[in-house]
Amino acid sequence: MTLDARPPSARVDAMKDGSMTSLAALARFARALLASAGPRARTAAALVAAGAVLEGVGLVVLVPILALIVSGGNEAVRAALAGVGLSSQSGQLALLLAAFVALMALRSLVLHARDVTLADLQARFVEDLRIRAIDTLAAARWSDLARLQHARLTSLLAADMQRVAASAQYLVQGTVAALMLLVQAAIALWLAPVLAGGVLLLMAAAGVLLLARAGRTRDLGGRLVAANLSLMQGAGSLLGGLKAALAEGDTDRFTQSFAAAQRGIRDHQVAFARASSASRTGFAFAAAAAAALVIAAAVLLAVPAPALLTLVVVLARMNPPAQVIQASLQNLFFGLPSFESVRALGDDLPTAETESAPVRTPPAGPIVLDHVSFAHPGSAGLRALSVTLAPGAIVGIVGASGAGKTTLVDLIAGLLLPQSGVITVGGVQLTGGARAGWRSQIGYVPQDGYLFHGTVRDNLAAAGCPPDVLADALATTGADAVVAALPAGLDTLVGDRGSRLSGGERQRLAITRALLRRPRLLILDEATNAIDVAGEAAVLDALAALVPRPTILIVAHRRESLSRCDQMLALADGSVTSYIPS
């Protein structure tokens, strides 16, 4: 345990600050939920209000029923019922009971419609958030994406989203309970203003105490978000390095850090459960004391029996919604950091294109880089680079590790924007709509030739592709032999990240997928290094023979991979030397 060295006044100020920022966060969350609901929010609000009013009317009807049973009935009510031909006490009681049952039946129907509508709103809210998170990723700049931790995304899309869904549920539940409580409080005030006023004051005091702890609860939620993130990081490192760790007998390192992160999660969850249970216990104690006080005071104030009985019923019914509000608020404050983490993704990944220019494909012609510079954070990168790549040329890019080969390729692909200088294709500068249009002309194959868990056909994005075009592309890369050897041919599942295939087979399929896009620029970034030398030579020969031939950029360290190049770009110290190989 750590001692808080701050003076008490500073602690109170910090608590107020924490509560205010937590309330502001709660308001942001509520606004986001309302915005996602759109016009459906009005239907939901109407159903919630109707449910609360029907609950209130049902309670009010209890007064004449109890009056009829206990003291022969209220004069005005009896006269009104006699006016419609019901003069016997049993007849009047039967009518009032029938009205009560009808009201409760109507209330049940409204509550059913309300609950379905609210569940729909919650589900849509989380769906919107998930889709927006993926849209944010898809529209982000590559330079920002490269900095993003994968574990953060996994944690955000799984654990945080689940907690946001739970928070939405708590917000809705709490709001419904608050409305119910308001209606019940109004009835209690009508039945016995002084007594009910006292009880409401006690409740308000409990509410203030609860809000005063909001900052601390939210802080606990924030720590849980951080602990979940380190759990995901642990899982990611374990999965990424599992094979090497198994081979080296070094799995303990991973399992220990994973277990430590898991312990962190458990500690925060238990701390929250302890805090909620303490406030629930305090709340139950206060409710029991308030009920005892009310009954004692009612006897002293000689409140009439039917009113007292109804008051007791009303107060008893106020207890569950009050408890729901208490639990919902606590869980909400605990869950808010997850929502903030989801929102922060949009701030960390601003949209790439600020221009809303229409997408247009740059015309045919050379790719020209004119005094292009790009520095990564930490200042490594490329300086004032000028080079021209002719259409259909096979261009090799060489240089030591870290020389900037991938940076150059990313600039030419439009993934990175030059910080100074310009890049043009066919004379059109690669910005805005032209940059977006250029992407549709590119086939990009990175070293790991990314495949996802699906069939070969799915991975080639070959649905609807004419069979002869598919067969040509497969033959060009030698993937036809790979497919022929698979148990279900094109319909064979390749496993997670293509784990059922060899590195070279994955690369052949990845190049086939790029070719099926009929690219004007084919980028092979160490994309053939897992294929045997003879096999690579055959693939490169077939690519060189393509008609029409795309401009082919080959980043490679192996001399054999570069033997067909028309032009070489040698990178060193952020500068480039362009030469024609002899």
Where on the chain is the footprint of ligand ATP (CB under 6 A)? 146, 376-378, 380-381, 399, 401-407
36: which 2 tokens? 């996602």
DSSP H helices, 140-192, are 142-145, 150-155, 161-191
Compute the least distance from the CB of residue 503 to ligand ATP, in Å. 17
Residue 564 and residue 551: Cα distance in Å, rounded? 13
For residue 543, the SS3 value is helix
Judged by beta carbon, residue 146 or residue 246, the one nearer ligand ATP is 146
Compute the least distance from the CB of residue 574 to ligand ATP, in Å. 8
Compute the least distance from the CB of residue 550 to ligand ATP, in Å. 21
Compute the least distance from the CB of residue 391 to ligand ATP, in Å. 24
Judged by beta carbon, residue 377 or residue 548, the one nearer ligand ATP is 377
Burial class (CB in 10 A: 0-12, 13-18, 19+), 63: buried
Judged by beta carbon, residue 161 or residue 552, the one nearer ligand ATP is 552
Residue 422 and residue 46: Cα distance in Å, rounded? 58
Per residue, the 3-state secondary structure of 435-491, as one string, reads HHHHHCCEEEECCCCCCCCCEHHHHCCCCCCCHHHHHHHHHHHCHHHHHHCCCCHHH
Compute the least distance from the CB of residue 398 to ligand ATP, in Å. 9
Residue 227 and residue 540: Cα distance in Å, rounded? 48
Compute the least distance from the CB of residue 396 to ligand ATP, in Å. 13
Judged by beta carbon, residue 276 or residue 529, the one nearer ligand ATP is 529
Judged by beta carbon, residue 505 or residue 526, the one nearer ligand ATP is 526
Judged by beta carbon, residue 338 or residue 406, the one nearer ligand ATP is 406
For residue 570, the SS3 value is strand
Residue 550 and residue 521: Cα distance in Å, rounded? 5
Compute the least distance from the CB of residue 443 to ligand ATP, in Å. 19
Cα distances from 222 to residues 161, 333, 341, in angstroms, run 14, 10, 9
Closest of 22, 113, 106, 21 to residue 61, by C-alpha: 106
Judged by beta carbon, residue 39 or residue 559, the one nearer ligand ATP is 559
For residue 397, the SS3 value is strand
Compute the least distance from the CB of residue 571 to ligand ATP, in Å. 6
Report DSSP state, residue 351.
B
